[in-house]
């Protein structure tokens, strides 16, 4: 009887787990040349376990419901326990009735300096500052969760965005770059504050509408394209108020290649007005927009 109970318990735990992310972590130290790699392997393992084994939301999810994401950390310098690095954070989510995963977040944070001692435990507390390493990893974990939620239900990412904002506020006491308004206008501070600002609600509306379109792509391709087109063109409202806004760039860093792909094949719709708007909203990607067949 005990064996049966144990088997059932393990089976249930295998179905639903209280960890929400499936994150691939890479720590790249090649720029440092021939050096002891053990510390970097330990760091990679510690971050992988921290991100993937932390229960970020208290909600149990099945293995196939975990959010696929990645964190690519490039170390540019290291002295004792001090590290200077960048972190590229990406996430994606599956599209209904298909094997395709759509990129949701693709962000390169160049202000990632931290301390790490080999084999130290990484422990997150939402109300206290432990280290910049823990704060940055937790911050992006909640941003990933929030942005993923926003693609399914409009503004449902608010609870996780608010936790990320609290992490940002608490982390300012550590003095590391990226958490303060004074550190520039394309930082973690502005990423999270803009996400929660009413001024930039159109970004989140577009994210929701865009993925609503993608989710019907396997059934009604033409209708899906029209929905995606309208979602993207609605960003012109924000662009009129805030040209070249930071969050607009964040959106297109994730979506520009996919937009080109969506409108470059399959049933045709009118795209000349879309291309005109794209060139105004995201001129940095004008070379990509040229490849959309009109």
Domain boundary among 141, 160, 185: 141
The tens-digit pLDDT sequence of the chain (294 residues) is 444 444 334 444 445 566 899 999 999 999 998 677 899 999 999 999 999 999 999 999 999 999 999 999 999 999 999 999 999 999 999 999 999 999 999 999 999 999 999 999 999 998 899 999 999 999 999 999 999 999 999 999 999 999 999 999 999 999 999 999 999 999 999 999 999 999 999 999 999 999 999 999 999 999 999 999 999 999 999 999 999 999 999 999 999 999 999 999 888 899 999 999 999 999 999 999 999 976
CB atoms within 10 A of CB 11: 9
Provide the token pair at 231: 């979602």
Domain boundary among 109, 141, 173: 141
Nearest alpha carbon to residue 106 among 130, 82, 90 = 90
DSSP secondary structure letter of residue 156: T
161: in domain: no
**Number of helices (H), then strands (E), in the chain:** 11, 6
Residue 217 lies in domain:
204-289
Provide the token pair at 240: 């009129």
183: in domain: no
Domain boundary among 141, 164, 192: 141
Same domain, 127 and 240: no
Same domain, 208 and 119: no
Tally of domains within the chain: 2
Same domain, 21 and 117: yes
CA distances from 270 to 127, 226, 285 (A): 51, 9, 20
Provide the token pair at 221: 């391709």
Q: Model pTM? A: 0.93
Same domain, 32 and 112: yes
Same domain, 55 and 133: yes
157: in domain: no
Pair 117, 78: CB distance under 8 Å: no
- Dist. CA 170–CA 130, nearest whole Å: 10
């Amino acid at each position: 009887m005990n064996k049966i109970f144990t088997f059932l318990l393990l089976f249930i735990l295998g179905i639903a787990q209280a960890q929400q992310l499936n994150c691939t972590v890479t720590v790249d130290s090649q720029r440092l040349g021939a050096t002891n790699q053990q510390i970097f392997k330990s760091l990679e393992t510690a971050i992988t376990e921290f991100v993937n084994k932390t229960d970020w939301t208290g909600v149990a999810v099945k293995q196939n419901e975990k959010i696929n994401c990645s964190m690519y950390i490039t170390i540019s310098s290291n002295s004792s326990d001090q590290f200077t690095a960048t972190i590229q954070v990406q996430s994606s989510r599956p599209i209904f009735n298909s094997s395709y995963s759509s990129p949701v977040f693709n962000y390169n944070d160049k202000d990632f300096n931290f301390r790490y001692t080999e084999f130290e435990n990484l422990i997150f507390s939402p109300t206290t500052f432990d280290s910049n390493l823990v704060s940055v990893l937790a911050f992006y974990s909640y941003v990933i969760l929030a942005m993923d939620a926003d693609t399914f239900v409009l503004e449902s990412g608010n609870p996780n965005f608010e936790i990320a904002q609290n992490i940002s506020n608490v982390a300012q006491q550590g003095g590391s770059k990226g958490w303060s308004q004074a550190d520039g206008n394309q930082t973690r501070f502005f990423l999270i504050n803009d996400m929660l600002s009413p001024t930039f609600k159109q970004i989140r509306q577009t994210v929701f509408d865009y993925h609503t379109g993608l989710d019907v792509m396997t059934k009604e391709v033409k209708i899906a394209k029209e929905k995606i087109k309208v979602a993207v063109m609605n960003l012109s409202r924000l662009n009129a108020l805030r040209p070249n806004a930071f969050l607009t760039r964040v959106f297109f860093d994730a979506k520009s290649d996919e937009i080109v792909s969506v409108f470059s094949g399959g049933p045709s719709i009118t795209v000349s007005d879309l291309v005109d708007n794209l060139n105004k909203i995201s001129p940095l990607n004008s070379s990509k927009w040229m490849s959309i067949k009109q």
